[in-house]
Amino acid sequence: MKRRNLIIGGAVALGAAGTWALTRDKTPVMRPAGVPLSPYPPDATAEEVTAGLDLTGKRALVTGATSGLGLETMRVLALRGAHVYGTGRTLEKAERACGSVPGTTTALQLELTDFDSVVACADALSAGGEPLDILVCNAGVMALPELEQVYGLEKQFVTNHLGHFLLTWKLMNNVMAAPQGRIVNVASSALKWADPAGIEWDNLSGERNYDPRRAYGQSMLANCLTTIELARRFAGTPTTANSMNPGPVLTRLQRHAPQWLVTLGDVLGPMLMKSPAEGASTICYLAADPTLMAVSSYYFIDCSPVELGGNSEDPAMAAMLWDVSAELVQGYI
């Protein structure tokens, strides 16, 4: 039996110790009909799920490629032959990350809270008009302890959702120009932390009763809803969009948690949580596996689709989020 199964009790204990901890997903597993199930175990690595694949000639963009899931995703896609564009908040960090992996990579600067930076990144990638086969929206921040705002909006909503929305909008034609373009939006089981009614349309500033978890959950819900609307817009084309939950992975995303929990995670995390190699497996599976060519609009955990129901699959809310988001970035699209 693998390491995490032997100590599942410890993982539950860590989750109970602080509500900031993202432990093993407890969502009831309901499989969508007609979608292929993965042959891989929950602890498969990104290298294992892409073994034997040849991505030579494909172009991929991975946001947040300087550490954690993004760095591992870039490494494995490049290992399989793709030309991977990896972004960082500074060009220096992106260049350092790209230089640390074998294969063909190009560093790009991307600050998701600066819409001019988002547009510049998209323009740099699309300047030649070449197709973009894979877009992985991975970068993010989690549970900022105090309310921070950008453009008058709560920062997690801007970073995790709106910046990626603008990037996707600017690159959508390039993705659709690929023979089988794919968009992978990284989400989380934390979407259940969002307000029970869904997106708080009248509180996108976060000023009313700011709660770090609820704000983060809303941004994760937004990523799932964006995927639903993208898939609707791609209907009838070879282009697909799916979202995923990497599971409990020990990365820098938890850096804003209370210090005692960060310390506890540093000690127990390597035993109780997934490694970046395991957490990136579902991202790489969605980005590259040939059996998923016609699979779109789904939410994946451990390389298999899961039905969540509720707000996360509400097409009306997804359409409204798309319209509201487009209005919020109107001056940049």
Residue 22 or 97, more confident: 97
Sign of CA dihedral 309, 247, 50, 105: positive
Contact between 125 and 134 (Cβ < 8 Å):
no
Where does the pLDDT of residue 248 fall: very low under 50, low under 70, confident under 90, or very high at 90 and above? Answer: confident
For residue 245, which of 12, 98, 101, 42 has the smallest C-alpha distance? 42
Amino acid at 168: T
Per-residue model confidence (pLDDT) at position 265: 55
Does residue 175 carry a pLDDT above 60? yes
Assign 3-class secondary structure to 129-173.
Answer: CCCCCEEEECCCCCCCCCCCEECCEEHHHHHHHHHHHHHHHHHHH
The secondary structure element, H or E, covering residue 242 is strand 240-245
So which residues are the catalytic ones?
210
pLDDT at 267: 53
With 50 as the cut, is the pLDDT of residue 14 above it?
no
For residue 22, what pLDDT band results from cuts at 50, 70 and 90? very low
Q: Is the dihedral of CA 51, 53, 59, 60 positive or negative?
A: negative
The Cα 266–Cα 311 span in angstroms is: 34
* Identity of residue 126: S
Task: Please give the average per-residue pLDDT across 32-41, as a whole number.
Answer: 85
Radius of gyration of the chain (CA): 18
Residue 3 has pLDDT above 70, yes or no: no
Q: Which residues pair with 88 in a beta bridge?
A: 109
Residue 258 is given by DSSP the state -
What is the token pair recorded at 19?
A: 């509500």
Query: In the chain, what percentage of residues exceed pLDDT 70?
Result: 84
**pLDDT (tens digit per residue) in 88-107:** 999 999 999 999 999 999 99
pLDDT in tens, 105-128: 999 999 999 999 999 999 999 988
Cα–Cα nearest to 190, from 216, 228, 153: 216
195: nearest Cα among 177, 174, 213? 213
pLDDT given for residue 268 in this prediction: 56
Multiple choice CATH, 41-47+56-328, 3.40.50.10420, 3.40.50.720, 1.20.1600.10, 3.50.30.30: 3.40.50.720
Tokens of 293: 């060519």
pLDDT at position 37: 84
Confidence of residue 143 (pLDDT cuts 50, 70, 90): confident
Find, among 22, 29, 26, the residue nearest to 142 by Cα: 22
pTM of the model: 0.88
Nearest to 197, CA basis, from 226, 217, 227, 223: 217
**Helix ranges, the chain (H):** 3-6, 8-17, 46-49, 68-79, 91-99, 115-126, 155-156, 163-177, 212-234, 259-272, 276-279, 281-288, 315-328
332 three-state secondary structure: helix
Q: How many CB atoms lie within 10 A of CB 199?
A: 23
Q: Half-sphere exposure of 120 toward its Cβ, with a 13 Å CA cutoff?
A: 14
Averaged confidence pLDDT in the chain: 89
The DSSP line for 197-236 is: TSS-GGGTT--SS--HHHHHHHHHHHHHHHHHHHHHHHTT
Q: How far apart are CA 82 and CA 37, in angstroms?
A: 25
Is residue 271 over pLDDT 60?
no
